[in-house]
Structure 1
Amino acid sequence: MTQIDYQFTEEFARKMDAEDPINSFRDRFLFPEVNGGKAIYFCGNSLGLQPKSVKSYLEKELNNWANLGVDGHFHGEDAWYHARQKSKPALAQIMGAHTHEVVAMNNLSSNLHFLMVSFYRPTSERFKIIVDGGAFPSDMYMLETQVKFHGLNPDEAIVELIPRDGEHILRTEDIISEIIKHGDSLAMVNMAGLQYYTGQLFDIREITAAAHSVGAYAGFDLAHAAGNAVLKLHDWEVDFATWCSYKYMNSGPGNISGVFVHERFADRPDLPRFAGWWGHDEGQRFLMEKGFVPMHGADGWQVSNTNILALAAHQASLDIFMEAGMSNLRAKSEKLTGYLAYLIEQISGKSGILEIITPKKPDERGCQLSLHIHRGGKAVFDDWYSHGVVGDWRNPNVIRLAPTPLYNSFLDVFRFAQILEQSLKKFA
Structure 2
Amino acid sequence: MSDVDATAPSGLVAEAARLDAADELRAKRAAFALDDGVAYLDGNSLGALPRAVAPRLADVVAREWGELRIRSWEESGWWAAPERVGDRIGRLVGAAPGQVVVGDSTSVNVFKAVVAAVRLAGGGPRDEILVDAATFPTDGYVAASAARLTGCRIRAVPAGDIGAAAGPRTAAAVVNHVDYRTGRLHDLPGTTAAVHAAGAPVVWDLCHSAGALPVGLDEHGVDLAVGCTYKYLNGGPGSPAYLYIRRGLQPRFDSPLPGWNSHADPFGMSPAFTPADGPARGRTGTPEILSLLALDAALDVWDDVGLAAVRAKSLALTDFFLRCVAALVPEGRVESVTPADHPARGSQVSLRCPSDAEAVTAALVRRGVVGDFRRPDVLRFGFAPLYNTFADAERAARTLAEVL
TM over 0.5: same fold?
A: yes
Determine the C-alpha separation between the residues in 2 that align with 1:406 and 1:337. Answer: 14
- Among candidates 204, 210, 220, match of residue 220 of structure 1: 204
Q: Which amino acid aligns with 1:95?
A: V
Q: CA deviation at 1:124?
A: 5.8
Number of the residue aligned with 2:215: 231
| 1:91 and 1:99 in contact (8 A); partners too | no
- Among candidates 339, 363, 368, match of residue 343 of structure 2: 363
| 1:352 and 1:374 in contact (8 A); partners too | no
Q: CA deviation at 1:225?
A: 1.2
Establish whether residue 11 from structure 1 lines up as the match of residue 7 from structure 2. no
Q: CA deviation at 1:151?
A: 4.6
| 1:117 and 1:274 in contact (8 A); partners too | no
Determine the C-alpha separation between the residues in 2 that align with 1:301 and 1:421. Answer: 48
Number of the residue aligned with 2:262: 279
- Deviations, residues 307-329 of structure 1 (Å, cap 9, x unaligned): 11111110122111122232222
Q: Give 3-state SS (helix, strand or coil) of 2:270's partner.
A: coil
Matches within 5 A, 1:9-408: 9-31=12-34, 38-62=37-61, 63-75=63-75, 78-121=76-119, 123=123, 125-151=125-151, 157-162=153-158, 172=160, 174-179=161-166, 183-268=167-252, 271=254, 273-281=256-264, 284-348=265-329, 351-408=331-388
Q: CA deviation at 1:27?
A: 1.4
TM-score by length of 2: 0.92
Closer, same or farther: CA 305–272 of 1 in aligned 2, 3 Å: closer
Q: Which amino acid aligns with 2:94?
A: G
Q: CA deviation at 1:214?
A: 0.8
Q: Which amino acid aligns with 1:49?
A: A
The number of equivalent residue pairs is 394
TM-score by length of 1: 0.87
- Deviations, residues 54-91 of structure 1 (Å, cap 9, x unaligned): 1111112111111111111122xx32122234323421
- Deviations, residues 130-172 of structure 1 (Å, cap 9, x unaligned): 22223111111111222222355xxxx222224xxxxxxx6x4
| 1:392 and 1:399 in contact (8 A); partners too | yes
Q: Give 3-state SS (helix, strand or coil) of 1:248's partner.
A: coil
Determine the C-alpha separation between the residues in 1 that align with 2:305 and 2:23. Answer: 12
Q: Give 3-state SS (helix, strand or coil) of 2:171's partner.
A: strand
Q: Which amino acid aligns with 1:256?
A: P
Determine the C-alpha separation between the residues in 1 that align with 2:316 and 2:370. Answer: 20
Consecutive unaligned residues of structure 2, counting only runs of 5 or more, are none
Determine the C-alpha separation between the residues in 1 that align with 2:87 and 2:301. Answer: 13
Determine the C-alpha separation between the residues in 2 that align with 1:132 and 1:273. Answer: 22
Q: Which amino acid aligns with 2:387?
A: Y
Q: CA deviation at 1:38?
A: 2.9
Closer, same or farther: CA 79–90 of 1 in aligned 2, 3 Å: closer
- Deviations, residues 339-375 of structure 1 (Å, cap 9, x unaligned): 11111122346x2111111111222112101111133
Closer, same or farther: CA 184–290 of 1 in aligned 2, 3 Å: same
Q: Which amino acid aligns with 2:217?
A: L
Q: CA deviation at 1:44?
A: 0.5
Q: Which amino acid aligns with 1:400?
A: R
Determine the C-alpha separation between the residues in 1 that align with 2:171 and 2:252. Answer: 19
Determine the C-alpha separation between the residues in 2 that align with 1:221 and 1:175. Answer: 14
Q: Give 3-state SS (helix, strand or coil) of 1:147's partner.
A: helix
Percent of aligned pairs with the same amino acid: 31
| 2:114 and 2:203 in contact (8 A); partners too | no
Determine the C-alpha separation between the residues in 2 that align with 1:210 and 1:357. Answer: 27
| 2:192 and 2:220 in contact (8 A); partners too | yes
Q: CA deviation at 1:110?
A: 0.6
| 1:294 and 1:301 in contact (8 A); partners too | no
Q: Give 3-state SS (helix, strand or coil) of 2:204's partner.
A: strand
Determine the C-alpha separation between the residues in 1 that align with 2:196 and 2:401. Answer: 48
Determine the C-alpha separation between the residues in 1 that align with 2:284 and 2:396. Answer: 45
Q: CA deviation at 1:19?
A: 1.1
Closer, same or farther: CA 379–314 of 1 in aligned 2, 3 Å: same
Closer, same or farther: CA 137–148 of 1 in aligned 2, 3 Å: same
| 1:6 and 1:342 in contact (8 A); partners too | no
